[in-house]
Structure 1
């Protein structure tokens, strides 16, 4: 591909990925595009008429030059604002348009920039005017519709659930109050580890072409280019040279095609969100390996990737028509990223480990963080603006500008290493170690607000607190004390007096999960096997941090909705909190989990059914808590009466799992041939699962605790006429088994108020 780069790109349109609608509010709209050549891009936002069908006056506009991240990769996030101070309203449908001025002064419209000989017809609109559209969040909570999801592995099993968003928008596109208002992707938008060999084959070749040069990766005492580290043959270098832990415990396949180079991480985003850069054909497996198992694995991965490619047009259209907000989790870099102090010591001490983390975070900054917080990348002197300049210099020098590389590391918050020991620097603060970072490092967490809700997006990866008095493998605080104050407490205090807000918190890793997983985590922790099951990524392994999180939320808000992902199943839990002695100080946390978009597994398919609730049903769990120091202790039903022996607990809480309602059909007709690749329609029907007749029964599939198949969640609220309180509802959309012939959804619904009966029962029984 390198020798024919010019010919390859001649066949492609100007726009390689996008447009992606990102940070959107009443006074500004940001759109990101990835281009194959340098351009000045102009963005205009229009009012519409006749329920979105006609274009009205231009209300917002902006222009910006693209940033040259490679010879054939130029990215820009343009923000449009009003020249006279106008604002968008939340009862209208708005459209936007882009115009491109190329280096030779050629002008291209959005339609022209989307099309080429290879892609003669591209539609990213739901209207005849062919402009993407969007709506703002409403004034009333009962009209708000939020989409969230996580964990989208390109070669993961099953049908990608993200294209369901396209159908959700299409079915409500003319209704501002019913149309989805915001999309939150809560982690693992791409996978740096657990990469299929065919995907790496594409990403490695594409990455070098995009950059126009081959990165010299520090390996051993010398350097290697990405092509010298072939797909399926990277396990040793990823584990022993880079120090990554995903391949430990006989899981070398997880890192055998690990992304390493900057070009590969850039390419992963283009391939995840756009069909443009995918090849027409993959090399046959027999060209890659003679091993029968490797051949089988290659062919299966190609089939799974082709299924992903088949629906990328729908993904692209959806992401152009809804504001998208994201936050990283570990796989956006590598499995176990910053899991504990041991991981940090091992990876950041390795030149290849440091370079890979830096490459992953730079790609994340460009394709995700820029759109989340465009102000960091817009103003001269801001860290994001400086990062883009350093990235441009790094690319112009073909990866030889040392000063640019050091600047990139500083702006990304990569810790420096001690020159004497070669290990990364930590700072001791509030009794925990935190990774040292440059004072100008980017801020990854952020807040989104509307007239009816606020969303606090947490960074639980780079502000961890590693216990100073325990072993390096000890579970960390996912938010160190300073981060807890800055990301959460101060944000909550700013709007404490505004009772019209409903508060959402994005926690990429779950606060509460299946109890059997808790048992497994604690067993592995006891035996020092923390990397096999991500021990330390769950909030409920470090009880001090969990207690601090819960009390911070519950003391500042009476109602909080937590959105999370990570665990490859969808579920809902309600956490009721009450002060001791009994008082009016009560709160409720409802956790809504949506995972995975494309990564269902045998285990998640099993817990999706009634088998899980028969064998290991989730029971009500109770805790007592203290504030100084933060601490909580689980109290079982058997010893509940003995809780008075515990010294002066200050609060108590109860966790209950919300049962999913019987499966319902998608509310509007959907052509399933647009979701399932023709060659896969028979294979899905004849999969090994179908050998068991009972598996085919919808009744058996209709488990009550989780959705374990690929899913996408929609969250909305209903105001109860009887209790005068809101009910929060999560509809988890998935593809029905056994034939994958339709989209269905499971509903989780619960009142957004504490379970008074369980709280009172806790106090009454405990006082006897």
Structure 2
């Protein structure tokens, strides 16, 4: 049969004169990318669970250029589509010496499927709106799109997917009738979401990196050890977690890796050279979810990743899969992965950007409540610990504040980097001489279904400004009754009440303070961070009822 292009191409990494593109086809095929005669690449599709995928490395691209490309399956052009009204897809590379070239990152999280597919009347999709604006001005392409979790919703499915699930449940496939379990079911989520016409074009011409949050697997994924134990008793859970992680690895994680990292990844080398990778990936999904893995000195598989764009370093952290959930020793990252993060956080760059699906700096009242709850859940009194655990799971108390040691460690890292000086871990020698502090530190986050900008205050003057930039949702909504509470959580009065409660459990005051500068905004939104010389500019844009973008907040900061 003739292979058809099901999803993609999705332009993922652009590293120097090389780029990677990901796609899914209906049948096995030879895939070729022709970048206007200046760059090319080819790959054979690999197969798993009856599906066919390819990731193509394109070599020899001209530096400092925007090169149109064509995608061919078995020598037939399938992208751009014949008669397409959209601008031609291009691969844009940075200049050979890009130290003075600005870096632009577009970011956000929490995107349900298109309105037609979701069955819910949601406000206009901010990613669709951004794509339409970019179509009108393709030269304004950002360097990278950073998607910070909940790219698909395995536990909040559309009417179309639910119909498919009901048919499968009647045929004996275990699981809830409204949530996906098997790999085949996960594929429907990506097919539904990533074939949105505007988003499909956007993905084909703007590089993207991605990290999961909970909804790629299930709401409240890895909230606590007790949560894991309860889920393990569900007869369908082993298949769900294995298929969920395998599908995430294929659809999202592979594209986060550079060509060199792909070549060095043992799993990818096995998967791409075997006739059928189903059992390899099923075993992989089970193995990387091993609840004992967080206690080991080695991380079984690292989902966090890093890349450099000019003088900007982007580090994106896994806030979900590799958490340490042991009461009294909770950590957002296990020791080996934290050490990796520390190593990447030091080096020769001007701006540090940390991608974290969960916000580091939350509304003050929520922060104090989560810190108080962690202390209750760690109590040596069984009834108190049980109450704390119930509250943790009922009210989603699982952000950085609920992993207090990790919250403090991240703040301490930023303080030491931001103070600079020859003894600071961030000290390095740049072209202009010795300097020890980044021009800016920005934490990009989503999850909480409202957008805001906050600045950290470490109690003394620091060379480096540290900002929390939260943009969520791209396409979802907060129930109206919840909005007053979320807005009040930023108020001084409610924060003082929550802080008083935290003191009753002997929770120490955080070593830093933070001030909200913009927000909260509750509509669908997309964020942009522009790093130009010493200046960082954060922009959050919401969508109008007509599906156009408008400015919600704009903040400049610099060393």
TM tier relative to shorter chain: 0.7 to 0.9
Equivalent residue in structure 1 for 2:27, among 37, 41, 53: 37
In structure 2, relative to structure 1, the CA distance for the partners of 1:163 and 1:742 (3 Å cut) is closer
> Is 2:161 the partner of 1:199?
yes
> Is 2:342 the partner of 1:458?
no
Identify the residue that residue 67 of structure 1 maps to in structure 2: 46
Identify the residue that residue 752 of structure 1 maps to in structure 2: 558
Root mean square deviation, CA, Å: 3.4
> Is 2:97 the partner of 1:94?
no
Structure ranking higher on relative contact order (CA contacts 8 Å, 6+ apart): 2
Cα separation, 2, equivalents of 1:438 and 1:507: 21
Q: How does 1:560-575 map to 2 (within 5 A)?
A: 560-575=441-456
Identify the residue that residue 380 of structure 2 maps to in structure 1: none
Equivalent residue in structure 2 for 1:318, among 186, 191, 202: 202
Q: Cα deviation per residue 1:683-706 (whole Å; 9 max; x = unaligned)?
A: xxxxxxxxxxxxxxxxxxxxxx22
Equivalent residue in structure 2 for 1:173, among 119, 128, 138: 138
> Is 2:351 the partner of 1:502?
yes
Identify the residue that residue 134 of structure 1 maps to in structure 2: 92
Cα separation, 2, equivalents of 1:543 and 1:330: 20
In structure 2, relative to structure 1, the CA distance for the partners of 1:549 and 1:260 (3 Å cut) is same
Instruction: Check whether the contact 1:731–1:748 (CA below 8 A) recurs between aligned residues.
Output: yes
**Structure 2 SS opposite 1:20:** strand
Q: CA deviation at 1:191?
A: 0.8
Equivalent residue in structure 2 for 1:271, among 192, 195, 211: 192
Instruction: Check whether the contact 1:333–1:357 (CA below 8 A) recurs between aligned residues.
Output: yes
Cα separation, 1, equivalents of 2:479 and 2:100: 38
- Calculate the TM-score normalised by the size of structure 1: 0.60
Instruction: Check whether the contact 1:453–1:502 (CA below 8 A) recurs between aligned residues.
Output: yes
Equivalent residue in structure 1 for 2:215, among 312, 331, 355: 331
Cα separation, 1, equivalents of 2:354 and 2:84: 36
Q: Which has the larger radius of gyration?
A: 1
Identify the residue that residue 289 of structure 2 maps to in structure 1: 414
**Structure 2 SS opposite 1:590:** strand
Q: CA deviation at 1:391?
A: 8.8
In structure 2, relative to structure 1, the CA distance for the partners of 1:354 and 1:387 (3 Å cut) is farther
Q: CA deviation at 1:523?
A: 7.1
In structure 2, relative to structure 1, the CA distance for the partners of 1:140 and 1:618 (3 Å cut) is farther
Instruction: Check whether the contact 1:96–1:132 (CA below 8 A) recurs between aligned residues.
Output: yes
Q: How does 1:196-345 map to 2 (within 5 A)?
A: 196-202=158-164, 226-228=169-171, 237-238=175-176, 256-274=177-195, 312-345=196-229
Cα separation, 2, equivalents of 1:68 and 1:136: 33
Q: Cα deviation per residue 1:248-283 (whole Å; 9 max; x = unaligned)?
A: xxxxxxxx5110111011121111101xxxxxxxxx
Instruction: Check whether the contact 1:376–1:385 (CA below 8 A) recurs between aligned residues.
Output: no
Q: For structure 2, which runs of at least 5 residues remain unmatched after alignment?
A: 377-386, 419-436, 497-505
**Structure 2 SS opposite 1:37:** coil
Cα separation, 1, equivalents of 2:362 and 2:107: 18
Cα separation, 2, equivalents of 1:438 and 1:751: 38
In structure 2, relative to structure 1, the CA distance for the partners of 1:272 and 1:653 (3 Å cut) is same
Identify the residue that residue 231 of structure 2 maps to in structure 1: 347
Q: How does 1:359-758 map to 2 (within 5 A)?
A: 359-373=243-257, 375=259, 378-379=262-263, 382-387=266-271, 392-394=276-278, 404=280, 407-409=283-285, 413-415=288-290, 424=291, 426=292, 434=294, 441-469=300-328, 476-486=330-340, 488-493=341-346, 495=347, 498=348, 500-518=349-367, 521=370, 526=376, 527=387, 528-536=390-398, 538-557=399-418, 558=437, 559-578=440-459, 587-603=464-480, 606=483, 617-619=490-492, 633-634=508-509, 652-659=511-518, 705-717=519-531, 726-736=535-545, 740=546, 742-753=548-559
Cα separation, 2, equivalents of 1:592 and 1:501: 18
Q: CA deviation at 1:604?
A: 8.2
**Structure 1 SS opposite 2:520:** coil
Cα separation, 2, equivalents of 1:742 and 1:469: 47
Cα separation, 2, equivalents of 1:109 and 1:142: 34
Identify the residue that residue 25 of structure 1 maps to in structure 2: 15
In structure 2, relative to structure 1, the CA distance for the partners of 1:316 and 1:548 (3 Å cut) is same
In structure 2, relative to structure 1, the CA distance for the partners of 1:180 and 1:548 (3 Å cut) is same
Identify the residue that residue 110 of structure 1 maps to in structure 2: 78
Identify the residue that residue 384 of structure 2 maps to in structure 1: none
Identify the residue that residue 289 of structure 1 maps to in structure 2: none
Q: CA deviation at 1:381?
A: 7.0
Identify the residue that residue 430 of structure 2 maps to in structure 1: none
Q: CA deviation at 1:750?
A: 3.9
In structure 2, relative to structure 1, the CA distance for the partners of 1:331 and 1:94 (3 Å cut) is same
In structure 2, relative to structure 1, the CA distance for the partners of 1:179 and 1:506 (3 Å cut) is same
Cα separation, 1, equivalents of 2:547 and 2:192: 26
In structure 2, relative to structure 1, the CA distance for the partners of 1:600 and 1:381 (3 Å cut) is closer
In structure 2, relative to structure 1, the CA distance for the partners of 1:381 and 1:709 (3 Å cut) is closer
**Structure 2 SS opposite 1:467:** coil
Instruction: Check whether the contact 1:42–1:64 (CA below 8 A) recurs between aligned residues.
Output: yes
Identify the residue that residue 152 of structure 1 maps to in structure 2: 111
**Structure 2 SS opposite 1:392:** coil
Cα separation, 2, equivalents of 1:534 and 1:88: 48
Cα separation, 1, equivalents of 2:264 and 2:530: 39
Bigger mean CA deviation after superposition, 342-351 or 264-273: 342-351
Instruction: Check whether the contact 1:452–1:502 (CA below 8 A) recurs between aligned residues.
Output: yes
**Structure 2 SS opposite 1:162:** helix
Q: CA deviation at 1:585?
A: 5.6
Q: Cα deviation per residue 1:590-640 (whole Å; 9 max; x = unaligned)?
A: 111111011112248845xxx976x66545989xxxxxxxx98327xxxxx
In structure 2, relative to structure 1, the CA distance for the partners of 1:484 and 1:405 (3 Å cut) is closer
Cα separation, 2, equivalents of 1:166 and 1:503: 26
**Structure 1 SS opposite 2:332:** coil
Cα separation, 2, equivalents of 1:717 and 1:451: 10
